[in-house]
Amino acid sequence: MERRSFLQALIATAVAAAAPGGEALAAGRSSLRYLRPPGALREEDFLKHCIHCGQCGEICPNRCINYFGLENGLASIDTPYIIPREQACILCMKCGEVCPTDAIAPIERELEAILSGVKMGHARVDESLCLSFQGLTCGVCYRACPLPDVAIYVARLEQPHVTDECVGCGLCERSCIQLPQAIRVFPEYG
């Protein structure tokens, strides 16, 4: 373990133990809905392989990658995450190119590779909130999707329908004009 990581973990443990609700923090329980970058390993393996170098966030042209402090537990400190409503992933795949440990696997920026290698999450439409299901026409989520007619298609009045090919980049959630948003991406980690 690098000296910086060791000191951060030591300080975080002390803070977590002293803070109210420190047990939940130490156990890594969070109510935060987040995504890992595209190509990230399953959560347990990702946490084992990520060395907290920050290169994925530095290369991200969309600046969607953030880093955990204590809010997601000790094991997640300094690991990358994305909140799609704040800033979604544009599937540039640069983060996997620079990851030195393959915690984020390198994936070619072409359709078949993205569909087979990216499992960030899956979008779900709340029809009770979606304007297109209320008799109005919208289609903003469909137009924001980098994989239109593959991950999402529209029917009558531009009603969005998410397919099993959705990779969970979050661009649909980010673009939704409803508050709360009518389409949300739920993570695939675990």
Higher pLDDT, 26 or 52: 52
145-162 mean pLDDT: 97
Q: What is the pLDDT of residues 8-32, one digit of tens each?
A: 555 655 555 544 444 444 445 457 8
Mean pLDDT of 118-134: 97
76-118: per-residue pLDDT in tens?
999 999 999 999 999 999 999 999 999 999 999 999 999 999 9
Fold of 119-187: Alpha-Beta Plaits (3.30.70)
Q: What is the CA radius of gyration of the chain?
A: 18
Backbone angles phi, psi at 29, to 5 degrees: -95, 130
Positions of E strands within 26-148? 66-67, 80-81, 121-125
* Residue length of the chain: 190
Which residues 6+ apart lie within 8 Å of 7 measured at CB?
none
* Residue 103 C-alpha from the chain's centroid: 14
Mean pLDDT over residues 69-75, rounded?
91
Separation between Cα atoms, residue 114 and residue 107, nearest integer Å: 7
pTM (2 decimals)? 0.83
pLDDT of amino acid 188: 80
Count of CB atoms within 10 A of residue 47's CB? 17
Burial group, residue 178, by CB count within 10 angstroms (0-12, 13-18, 19+)? middle
Closest listed residue to residue 143, CA positions, set 133, 158, 123: 158
Domain boundaries, the chain: 3-98, 119-187
